[in-house]
Amino acid sequence: MIRNYARVLAEIEQELDFEQRLGQPADYIPELRKVNPDHFGLHLCCLNGDAFCLGEDKTHFSIQSISKVFSLSMAMRICGDDVWKRVGVEPSGNAFNSLIQLEREDGIPRNPLINAGALVIADMLVTHFSDPRQALLDFVRQLTQDDSITFDEDVAVSEQSVGYRNFATAHMLKSFGNMENEIMEVLDFYFHQCALSMNCAQLSKAFLVFANEGKIPDSHTQVLSPLQCKRINALMMTCGFYDEAGEFSFLVGLPGKSGVGGGIVAIHPGEYSVAVWSPRLNEKGNSVLGMKSLELLTTKTAYSIF
């Protein structure tokens, strides 16, 4: 079935209420307070090479927790199933930065997409790479074939200046023996990881690999096995939206990942990847217009994974 994505995106643009201004940007990171909360961009990349966009799809923003999918992919390539000896695969049902759950479960994070899990993954990469920051950039640039992608250093510094709970989480992981490297080294990498600066066009292209069984469409390079790709998509489906993953699955019906910078990326296996950015967040930390636009996309196309 051929779907008219251009028509569907035009309808979405007409139906979104840009004047309502529901939600607030993440204000606990000083640098994110400076972002105009009324930005909106969307970019959809199909595996056949077609692309469709709305609004400011070329405006860069801090991808924040979306970066956890990239770091997890790298760790799975390096460590294989050993990853799961140090981090679980279950939804947390709690805030993404919960310390209580981590202590109750003896320092084994519930999944790799909450902060504690992402810090364990970061520790794995710090162990393996002499320059993990550059390794992450190289990986993302390989996925996008775009060497311009880099970190927003101002955001990284801003994250570190208020990263008290991440410091506490790292120390707790260390106390349970689930962090091998020096805490500051791991946190420096983690804060830079979250400060990756990308736009919707770059993000949607980067995530095509997860819609294509682990293969980069343009270069046909297999960077993940089909099984690894399936595992990552499953984790995005069940854990990709903090403690709102069930709501996203119910409304949208696609695997995806959000970040408190206002970005959301979702994929339809075998078909497309779509990235949307709008900084106003709901109380769970997910973009209000981002979730609504993706709900409209799968509703209007009558096409989700279900």
- In this structure, are residues 43 and 88 in contact, taking their beta carbons and an 8 Å threshold? no
Using CA atoms, how far residue 177 sits from 84, 174, 185, 229, in Å, is 15, 5, 16, 29
> Which of these is catalytic: 35, 98, 209, 242?
242
Confirm whether 242 is a catalytic residue. Answer: yes
Say which residue the tokens 């996925």 belong to.
143
DSSP character string of 116-183: HHHHHHHHHHHHH-SSHHHHHHHHHHHHHT-TT-EE-HHHHHHHHHT-HHHHHHHHHHHHTT---S-H
Confirm whether 260 is a catalytic residue. Answer: yes
Confirm whether 68 is a catalytic residue. Answer: yes
> Which of these is catalytic: 69, 83, 126, 260?
260
> Which of these is catalytic: 190, 257, 258, 287?
190
> Which of these is catalytic: 62, 65, 98, 273?
65
Confirm whether 190 is a catalytic residue. Answer: yes
> Which of these is catalytic: 5, 8, 62, 68?
68
Report the distance separating Cα 105 and Cα 172, nearest Å: 11
CB atoms within 10 A of CB 143: 24
Say which residue the tokens 């990847």 belong to.
273
Number of H helices, E strands in the chain: 14, 8
Report the distance separating Cα 261 and Cα 282, nearest Å: 12
Which residues are annotated as catalytic?
A: 65, 68, 190, 242, 260
